Amino acid sequence: MATGRKVAVVEGGEEKAIAYWKANVRLIFILLAIWALVSYVAGIILARPLVTINLGQVPLSFWFAHQGSMITFVVLIFVYAKLMDGIDNKFDVHE
Amino acid sequence: MDAQTWTYILVILTFGIYIYIGYASRVKDTKGFYVAGQGVPAIANGAATAADWMSAASFISMAGLISVLGFDGSIYLMGWTGGYVLLALLLAPYLRKFGKYTVPDFVGDRYYSKTARGVAAIAAVFVSLTYVAGQMRGVGVVFSRFLGLDITWGVVLGMVIVAFFAVLGGMKGITWTQVAQYVVLIIAYLIPAVAIAVILTGNPIPQLSLVFSDITGKLNQIQIDLGFREYTEPFANRKPIDVFMITVALMIGTAGLPHVIVRFYTVPNVRAARYSAGWALLFIALLYTTAPAVAVFARYNLLNTLHGARVVSTETVAGREILNLQDAQGRDIEWASSWQRTGLISFVNQDGQISMQANDKGTTFAHATIDNDIIVLSTPEVARLPAFVIALVAAGGLAAALSTASGLLLVISSAFSHDIYYRLINPNASEGLRLLVGRIVIFLGVIAAGYFGINPPGFVAEVVAFAFGLAAASFFPIIVLGIFDKRANDKGAIAGMLVGLIFTMVMILMMQSVKIFGTAEPLMGPFFGITAQGIGTIGAILNFAVTLIVSRATAAPPQEIQDLVESVRVPRGAGSAAAH
């Protein structure tokens, strides 16, 4: 059985483990806010008002709904992975 | 050479590659069988996940569906991609650290409950089985359309191929064939898309030509002229609340689908799990950002070419009246004749002309029927590409269907052989016996999937709503809470999962009763404007609420479980955590 007890906990004790988790959760919140902004806000909630503004030759909300949101999603994941590399190293929990 | 000969050559060639890969990556232990020995590099897992995820429906039907829905087609575009952000940020890294073999494994261990494991295993099997039937059907449809083969024989051939590499190689065989299948399907999708983009807009990159050419404006104009709503008008087909809820349900459903989650168990460490999710979505987005461009190009071309086309002759083939057409410049529209023969297109002769006018409601054509699948399937012919490309599209459709089917079959196999047989029925089973049971179950799974592919239940499309709704309402909430809420306990999770599952299942059954039970009227209309596809969102909210409340009203999880949660939150030690 692989339970938590066998696994190395954060060196530097509980406080450091809490700080690491806080940094992670904070980053997740920021990135998910952007995630919701480009999809639910720009592509759905503001779909009607943003239809009057053009990006290139298509309405802005249409662009977000059919292209911009997906491009942002890809970028968000790589940004998360990259920033977590730094956070892992800072708290010395990387492999 | 004609398209049929090319199709035979490409199908035999690609199937040969899949069989060779399956043979080369055969496995000897359960770790190899369930999670490919946890040695799959991040990029390779990304490509495998993309192929795993993109089914026959994504490849063949999605662009057509979008071209009919217009702006509202965003439910599929955003809904089937946004879930990967949730996976990458909320699930994949921690589940990889946990390091076991299946989704029910995490649920059972985290909630220290055999009941929770059992409920999760049954839900995983149900979700995957509903989904896999549609894939085998897709294999049969591709064979019958491109090679004129009987659907039954097409399905049987697909079964033999999947059985070979899945039984022999388990997850390892599946992973590497999926990487090859991704390459086949993305090339097959992009070549016709680039060709039609060049023809209509002069810009070879479909994503750019959608935004920076005047094609969308021209489509809007022709839609209005024919009595449709503008293509870029939001909520022309669905209510805003429904669009919102369906998008949520598809996103969290994606993040909760066992065959997607389990792919992240196969990478070497937590860091690889994060990057792998990024690669997966990048590979998926390559097709998913091309699809809306193809949808616009193909719809514009379809309306522009066919409306007002002259009927030059008629013939009757196998009981169908075929209208041979010429466009405004007097050129034959050959593809229209050939697709009429398959029954996917039909026209009503309007005094020697074709009319693409909308019906009174502006929802569909008044004097023509156009199957959604035509949008992707006919593009190579419409763009007058060589026969080779038509064959490539057939091979791509097969790759998309087979890769998804094999991933789903592995989930069914591991849920039975690992979670139900080994963990609940016979904990003393030897390694060799467990591997044998896994192989037998995957073989039986192939047979079951093939049976449903040949004799599809009349509601194949509806069961997809089921798969996403149930995954959203059952797995996603309790896995997220299992990681982010240390206080979540066994009673909360079981109650939450059951409430989410039962609510969603009952609602979908009642809303879809016309197709499922054959009632005259649906037993229930939309729920506050939300249709069956979006109801999983409400199920998920209920699951979250019930799990949180019941957990706090009952005893906290034991210390060792709280330690387990602490450990999955930290990347270090993922390599050794999986060791038994």
Indicate whether A2 pLDDT > 50.
no
Is A80 close to B217, i.e. CB distance below 8 A? Answer: no
CA distance B78 to chain A (A): 7
Write out pLDDT tens, residues B161-189: 888 888 888 999 999 999 999 999 999 99
Residues contacting B118, CB < 8 A, separation 6+: B104, B419, B420, B424
Of A21, A47, A77, the CB nearest to B235: A47
Nearest residue of chain A to residue B570 (CA atoms): A93
Q: How many Cβ atoms from other residues are within 10 Å of residue B332's Cβ?
A: 12
Q: CA B311 → CA A47, B307, B320, B347, B356, distances in Å? A: 41, 11, 15, 10, 14
**Could A74 and B282 be called an inter-chain contact, meaning their C-beta atoms sit closer than 8 Å?**
yes
B409 — pLDDT class (breaks 50, 70, 90): very high
pLDDT digits (tens, 9 = 90+) for B478-528: 999 999 999 999 999 999 999 999 999 999 889 988 877 888 889 988 999
Judging contacts by C-beta atoms under 8 Å, the chain A residues touching residue B292 are 66-67
Q: Name the residue ranges covered by the structural domains of chain A.
A: 16-90
Beta carbons of B77 and A88 less than 8 Å apart: no
Determine phi and psi for B487, rounding to 5 degrees.
Answer: -80, -15
Cβ contacts from A onto B, under 8 A = 179
Angle between helices B74-86 and B62-69 (to 10 degrees): 120
> How far apart are the C-alpha atoms of B374 and B385, rounded to whole Å?
16
At B578 the pLDDT is 46
Give the three-class secondary structure for B347: strand
State pLDDT tens for residues B371-400.
888 888 888 888 888 889 989 999 999 999
- Tell me the C-alpha distance between B179 and B21, whole Å: 10
Q: What are phi and psi of B370, to 5 degrees?
A: -125, 115
B136 pLDDT above the threshold of 90 = no
Min Cα separation A77/chain B (Å): 5
The beta-carbon neighbor of A2 closest among B66, B281, B578 is B578
Cα distances (Å, whole numbers) of residue B418 to A36, B91, B96, B431 = 37, 21, 18, 11
Q: Which residue has the tokens 């892992």?
A: A88
Range among B504-513, B545-554, B571-580 rated most confident: B545-554
ipTM higher than 0.90? yes
- Taking CB atoms and an 8 Å cutoff, what residues of chain A touch B77? 65-66, 69-70
Those of residues 49-88 in A touching chain B at CB distance below 8 A are 51, 55-59, 61-63, 65-67, 69-71, 73-74, 76-78, 80-81, 84-85, 88
Q: Residue A2 and residue B99: Cβ atoms within 8 Å?
A: yes
For B217-238, give the secondary structure using H, E and C: HHHHHHHHHCCCCCCCCCCCCC
Nearest Cα of chain B lies from the Cα of A41 at a distance, in angstroms, of: 10
Residue of B nearest to A38 (CA): B78
Give the best residue of A6, A74, A76, A85 to mutate against chain B (max B CB count within 10 A): A74
| pLDDT tens digits along A16-37 | 999 999 999 999 999 999 999 9
Beta strand extents in B62-146 (DSSP E only): none
Task: Report pLDDT for A7.
Answer: 42
- Secondary structure letter of residue B323 according to DSSP: E
Band (B553; pLDDT cuts 50, 70, 90): very high
DSSP for B394-457, please give it. HHHHHHHHHHHHHHHHHHHHHIIIIIIIIIII-TT--HHHHHHHHHHHHHHHHHHHHHHHHS--
Residue numbers of A between 18 and 37 with CB closer than 8 Å to B: 20-21, 24-25, 28, 31-32, 35
pLDDT on residue B459 = 58
Model pLDDT for residues B58-94, shown as the tens digit of each residue: 898 899 999 999 999 999 999 999 999 999 999 999 9
List the structure tokens of B255.
Answer: 């993040």
Q: H/E/C letters for each residue in B555-575?
A: CCCCHHHHHHHHHHCCCCCHH
Is residue A79 scored above 70 in pLDDT?
yes
Residue B84 pLDDT: 98
Residue range B221-267, pLDDT digits in tens: 999 999 999 999 999 989 999 999 999 999 999 999 999 999 999 99
Contact yes or no for B454/B152 (Cβ under 8 A):
yes
CB-CB neighbors (< 8 A) of A25 in chain B: 484
Kindly provide the b/e burial profile for residues B94-126, where b requires at least 16 CB atoms within 10 angstroms of the residue's own CB. Answer: bbbbbbbbbbbbbbbbbbbbebbbbbbbbbbbb
